[in-house]
Structure 1
Amino acid sequence: MSFQNYNVPYEVDNNYTKKVAYFSMEFATHQPLKIYSGGLGFLSGSHLRSAYELGQNMIGIGILWKYGYYDQERNQDQTLDVSWNEKIYSFLEDTGIKFQIDVHDHPVWVKAWYLNPDTFKTAPLFLLSTDLPENDYVSQTITHKLYDSNVAAKVAQFILLGVGGAKLVDILNFNPDVYHLNEAHGLSAAFYLYQKYNRNIEEVRKRLVFTTHTPEEAGNEKHDIYLCHKMTYFCGLSIDEVKQLTQDYSDSFNHSLVALRFARLANGVSQLHGEVSREMWGKYSGICPIISITNAQNWTYWADKQMYKFKDVGDDYGFDDRKKWLKKRAFEIVADQTGKLFSPDIFTIVWARRFAGYKRAGMIASDPHRFFELMNNQKYPVQIIWAGKPYPMDHPAISEFNELVHLSRNYKNVSVLVGYELGLSKRLKQAADVWLNNPRVPREASGTSGMTAAMNGAVNFSTDDGWIPEFINHGHNGFVIPKADYANMSTYDQDQYDLNKLYEILTSEILPLYYEDYKTWRQVVKNGMQDVRFQFDSNRMAHEYYEKLYNA
Structure 2
Amino acid sequence: QDDHESDFQTARTATRATNLFTTHTSVASGFDHFSRSLLRLYLTPWLEGRDLNVDQLLALGSQPSSPDNQSTDLKLNMALLALNMSGRFNGVSRIHQKVTQTIFQPFFPRWPAEDIPADYVTNGIHTPSWDSPESDAIWTRACGKDRWRRPLQSTCPMTDIADEELWEMRRLERARLITYLRRRLASQHCEQNPGNNHEAACGLLLDHETLTLGFARRFTEYKRPDLLLKDQERLLKLLASRDRPIQIVLAGKAHPYDLPGKDIIRRWKAFSRRPDVEGKVVFIEDYDLGVANQLIQGVDVWLNCPRHPWEACGTSGMKVLVNGGLNLSQYDGWWAEAWNPDVGWAIRPGATFDELSGSNNHDHDLSDMEQLFDLLENEVIPGFYDVDSEGIPRNWVGRMRASMDQLTAAYSANRMVREYVEQFYLPMAEMGSRRSSETARELLGEYREISRHWSRLRFNSFNTGEDSGSQTFTVEVYLDGIDEQRIAVELVAEDSEHGPRTITAMQMKHPLGGSPHTYLYECTVPSRPEGHYTPRLRVRDERLNLPLENPAILWLR
Question: How many Å apart are 1:344 and its aligned residue?
Answer: 1.8
- The aligned counterpart of 2:168 is 321
Equivalent of 1:359 in 206, 223, 232: 223
Q: How does 1:182-193 map to 2 (within 5 A)?
A: none
1:373 maps to what in 2?
237
Specify the alignment match of 2:127 in structure 1. 299
Identify which of 271, 287, 292 aligns with 1:420: 287
User: 2:138 and 2:256 mapped to 1: Cα distance?
Assistant: 36
Q: Tell me, what secondary structure is at the counterpart of 1:479?
A: strand
Q: CA deviation at 1:375?
A: 1.3
Contact 1:193–1:204 (CA<8 Å) still a contact in 2? no
Show CA shifts across 1:322-375 (max 9, x none): 211111111122112221131121001001112222111121122221121121
Q: Which moved more, 1:373-382 or 1:242-251?
A: 242-251
Aligned in 2, Cα 1:195/1:280: closer, same or farther, shift over 3 Å? farther
Residue 306 of structure 2 aligns to which amino acid in structure 1? P
Question: CA distance change for structure 1 residues 213 and 488 in 2, over 3 Å: closer, same or farther?
Answer: closer
CA distance in 1, matches of 2:36, 2:267: 39
- Report deviation, 1:406: 2.1
Which residue matches 1:496?
366
Matches within 5 A, 1:500-515: 500-515=370-385
**For 1:371 and 1:203, how far apart are their aligned partners in 2?**
60
| Letter of the structure 2 residue corresponding to residue 235 of structure 1 | L
Change (3 A) 1:272 1:195: farther
Of structures 1 and 2, the one scoring higher in RCO (CA 8 A, sep 6+) is 2
SS in 2 for 1:297: coil
CA distance in 2, matches of 1:533, 1:440: 25
- Residue 7 of structure 2 is matched in structure 1 by 198
- Alpha-carbon distance between aligned partners in 2 of 1:415 and 1:229, rounded to the nearest angstrom: 50
Q: CA deviation at 1:520?
A: 0.3
Secondary structure of 1:393 counterpart = coil
State the alpha-carbon separation in 1 of the partners of residues 220 and 47 from structure 2.
34
SS at match of 1:541: helix
Identify the match of residue 207 of structure 1 among 18, 24, 27. 18
Q: How does 1:77-88 map to 2 (within 5 A)?
A: none
The Cα shift of 1:467 comes to: 0.4
**1:257 aligns to what?**
80
Question: Where do residues 440-451 of structure 1 align in structure 2 (5 Å cutoff)?
Answer: 440-451=307-318
Deviations 1:173-197 (A, max 9, x none): xxxxxxxxxxxxxxxxxxx999986
Q: Which of 528, 535, 538 is equivalent to 2:403? A: 528
Judge which range, 448-457 or 398-407, deviates more.
Answer: 398-407
Structure with max Cα Rg: 2
> Could you tell me whether the CA contact under 8 Å between 1:351 and 1:436 is conserved in 2?
yes
The equivalences for 1:104-123 within 5 A come to none
How far apart are 1:471 and its partner, in Å?
Answer: 0.4
Match of 1:335 in 2: 182
Q: Which of 225, 231, 247 matches 2:42?
A: 231
1:401-420 matches, within 5 Å, as: 401-410=265-274, 411=277, 412-420=279-287
Return the offset for 1:307: 4.0
Alignment of 1:435-474 (within 5 A): 435-474=302-341
Aligned mates of 1:363, 1:481 — CA distance in 2: 12
| Structure 1 residue 502 displacement after superposition | 0.3
The offset of 1:283, in angstroms, is: 3.0
Structure 1 residue aligned with 2:59, among 244, 250, 253?
244
Query: Which residue does 1:396 correspond to in 2?
Result: 260
> Is this contact kept in 1: 2:121–2:420, CA < 8 A?
yes
Asked if 2 retains the 8 angstrom alpha-carbon contact of 1:194 and 1:204, the reply is no
Residue pair 2:92, 2:120 contacting (<8 A) in 1 also: yes
Equivalent-residue separation in structure 2 for 1:400 and 1:195 (angstroms)? 56
Report whether the alignment pairs 1:285 with 2:285.
no
1:218 lines up with 2:85 in the alignment: no
Paired amino acid for 2:216: A
- Measure, in 1, the Cα distance between the counterparts of 2:281 and 2:203: 8
Q: Is this contact kept in 1: 2:309–2:360, CA < 8 A?
A: no
Task: Name stretches of at least 5 consecutive residues in structure 1 with no aligned partner.
Answer: 1-191
How far residue 221 of structure 1 moved from its aligned partner, in angstroms, is 1.8
Q: Specify the code of the residue in structure 2 equivalent to 1:318.
A: E
SS, match of residue 303 in structure 2: strand
Amino acid at match of 2:122: T
SS in 1 for 2:266: helix
Report SS of the residue matched to 1:386. strand
Give the match's secondary structure for 1:544. Answer: helix
CA drift of 1:493 comes to 2.4
Tell me by how many angstroms 1:262 deviates.
1.5
TM-score norm. by structure 1 comes to: 0.61
Structure 1 residue 424 displacement after superposition: 2.1
Return 5+ residue gaps in structure 2 as ranges.
66-73, 143-157, 186-201, 388-392, 428-557
The question of 1:480 aligning with 2:346 is answered yes
User: Could you give the per-residue CA deviations for residues 82-110 of structure 1, whole angstroms, max 9, x where no partner exists?
Assistant: xxxxxxxxxxxxxxxxxxxxxxxxxxxxx
1:317 CA displacement: 2.3
The structural deviation recorded for 1:489 is 5.5
Contact 2:35–2:75 under 8 Å retained in 1: yes
User: Structure 1's 307 and 343: CA in aligned 2 closer, same or farther, altered over 3 A?
Assistant: farther
- CA separation of 1:204 and 1:194: change in aligned 2, threshold 3 A: farther
**Partners in 1 of 2:398 and 2:338 — Cα distance?**
16
Please state if 1:349 is matched with 2:213: yes
Q: How far off is 1:392 after superposition?
A: 3.2
Q: Deviation per CA, 1:267-302, whole angstroms, max 9, x where unpaired? A: 100111112111221232289832111100122332
**What is the CA–CA distance in structure 1 between the aligned matches of 2:360 and 2:6, rounded to whole Å?**
50
Return the alpha-carbon distance in structure 1 between the equivalents of residues 13 and 211 of structure 2. Answer: 57
292-301 vs 277-286, which deviates more?
A: 277-286
Residue type matched to 1:198 in 2? D
SS in 2 for 1:283: helix
Instruction: Check 1:429–1:195 CA distance in 2 against 1; reply closer, same or farther (3 A cut).
Output: farther
Give the drift of 1:503. 0.4
**Percent identity over paired residues:** 28
- CA 1:195 to 1:285, structure 2 compared with 1: closer, same or farther past 3 Å? farther
Partners in 2 of 1:196 and 1:506 — Cα distance? 65
CA RMSD of aligned residues (A): 2.5
How far, CA to CA, are the matches of 2:2 and 2:60 in structure 1?
A: 13
Q: Which amino acid aligns with 1:334?
A: L
Q: CA deviation at 1:312?
A: 4.6
1:415 Cα offset (Å) = 0.5
Change in 2 beyond 3 A, CA 1:220/1:377: farther
